[in-house]
Chain A
């Protein structure tokens, strides 16, 4: 007979989410729901009536982990709506900023996932903050990689977190030759570190994959060979940067996208009847508590060709580089393979960048209200922003962020995994939950009375 267990909150990722799992007598997940319980931001509503220059800056504030992707996707959605082509050097600066952000993001994710894995040849889980080797030098390498990514981002984008340099029509300013050389030197240093770090992580992941069991709390959990497998398909628009509706051959089609309500997708109200006080940290939710994923989920469920899809590093590699490894480990390895791609994207763009080049379009049209969209390959996957701009003001704005796509897909991938490993599957998606929340209106009786649906 199946039982219900709840892990709330899930840890070591951005935002606030929880897992509600229906498990069989062996503890294997029969049906899993992973849902966001981060309060909604409402950025789409805030945007209406604001100027096209303000909105991407507001959109950036939806989250502090991938603000660069949101800024760039927001700006390019505006540019697509007003039909503004930006100068080549501005585009290059954006690619540098984008790749630098992804470099830092992968390194950050390494810190978050390392405690799930074992030092090869031992039964010791890795504590990235331990003062012993080899962990100490790995942690130092990760910190340096983040520093490199953020410093390059600061130079190209003005700020490493909420970049100030990008604007509708291009960039505010180009960099000097000295700054270009500084970024080049940093990227060269990063290239070696990224290669070393990638190799280290792949070794750790392969070792984890070969293990027979894994210890979680007091339980010795057998390792399934198909941990995190799903058959939902992939979506990616570019191996590195992105595309938009002005492109000659857009790689994303808005007509294939639809959105359904969590009401139609997640499980209904149920009582938790299984608990494990030894589960890290502080045990699972107490028996007898009620869970209601349908009502608690703060995201819509976007579908592409009628199905939820996976976005992120593996999707990019599958779509553009012939990668075919499934499961959580395959996903992690795809992410590590992107380390070096980021550095080469930076180096290539720096080679092409002309520091004396123009970085702002002239003139900048003010828009006629037509719909434009831009899809940006954020560290966690395809980040699509859609906008209508008329006379410089935003009339309609929509954000389709990576983790929103991944929520239902990952929920499917939980099936067949021991429940104790569900969080490991979730972390494979490098979730960034807070920006994934959408506009849903709930009345006093907790019923959905309105939701932003596709127009």
Chain B
């Protein structure tokens, strides 16, 4: 297809050099390190991140304005976190002028749409200073995560140390070191149906987008997409925040990212087409037209 990875200036494989961040990071600790760097150097005043919520492994978006708060949001929580809901408030009662936001591809689309058509988002567009997108195949409602972890993996959510999706498996790692790998075909039915019309895998609209796919374990693939993203990334590299490797020299490399992106796009295109004839003479709108 050729366009599945979106526009980008540079793509590298990277990981954070910060031991404290890496200790609990999902993969390369890219988002936390980059926000921590941006916060320390005044590139952002605060960042909207997914912190711990009311229930175990339920994310709650909040506005982190210190490194400690950022650290509390390390790691991926595979269910819905309404990040954009804080975007306006960040510029209001929080008084931020330069907001960082991390989110899934659909959330990056929402942020850009809010910047382009700021209906109900007065004075917000110019305050988005750094938008970091994360790769996303699909997301789950919280109930689904409960079912997957507690019923299929037979593990208490409270006792879960980490969840990972990779190599065709949904892996649950417990506090006591047990690892349960579930084939993804089990988890498919628990996915959020809205995700099945999404044609973006690698967060095409982020300033920077990142995810584990394409890089070795403990590393992340990073696309630097915009001028703003490039400036921040270069400063962070110069400050020694990350070690990087050219993406061509790592395994499995960009081919895998492309393969998965194409899989997502072609699979979801079918859903979009199916929905065009769905219902009683009330075809659902194709969100990409």
- Mark A residues whose CB is within 8 Å of B: 151, 154-155, 158-161, 165, 173-176, 178-183
Contacts and interface: CB of A to CB of B under 8 A. Distances in A.
B218 interface: no
B45 interface: yes
A25 B91 CA distance: 60
Given A155-B95, A158-B93, A173-B93, A178 B45 contact: yes
22 contacts: A151-B123, A154-B91, A154-B92, A154-B122, A154-B123, A158-B89, A158-B92, A159-B92, A161-B122, A165-B92, A173-B89, A173-B93, A174-B93, A175-B93, A176-B65, A176-B95, A178-B65, A178-B95, A179-B94, A179-B95, A182-B95, A183-B95
A181 B93 CA distance: 11
Counting chain B CB atoms within 10 Å of each CB, the highest count among A159, A161, A174, A178 belongs to: A178
B4 to A, nearest CB: 40
A371 B45 CA distance: 47
B96 interface: yes
B122 A165 contact: no
Nearest to B94: A176
Nearest to B45: A178
Contacts of A175: 93-95
Nearest to A185: B95
Given A154-B92, A176-B94, 18 more contacts: A151-B123, A154-B122, A154-B123, A155-B95, A158-B89, A158-B93, A159-B92, A159-B122, A175-B94, A175-B95, A176-B65, A176-B95, A178-B45, A178-B94, A181-B95, A182-B95, A182-B97, A183-B95
A154 B89 CA distance: 10
A359 to B, nearest CB: 10
B93 A179 contact: yes
Contact of B93 (A160, A161, A176): A176
Contact of A155 (B45, B65, B93, B122): B93
Contacts of A160: 122-123
B65 to A, nearest CB: 7
Interface in B78-97: 89, 91-97
Contacts of A179: 92-95
A188 to B, nearest CB: 15
A361 B93 CA distance: 19
Interface in B49-103: 65, 89, 91-97
A79 B89 CA distance: 26
Counting chain B CB atoms within 10 Å of each CB, the highest count among A158, A176, A180 belongs to: A176
A369 B218 CA distance: 65
Contact of A178 (B89, B96, B122, B123): B96
Contacts of A155: 92-93, 95
A42 B93 CA distance: 33
A158 B91 CA distance: 9
A57 to B, nearest CB: 14
A324 B278 CA distance: 74
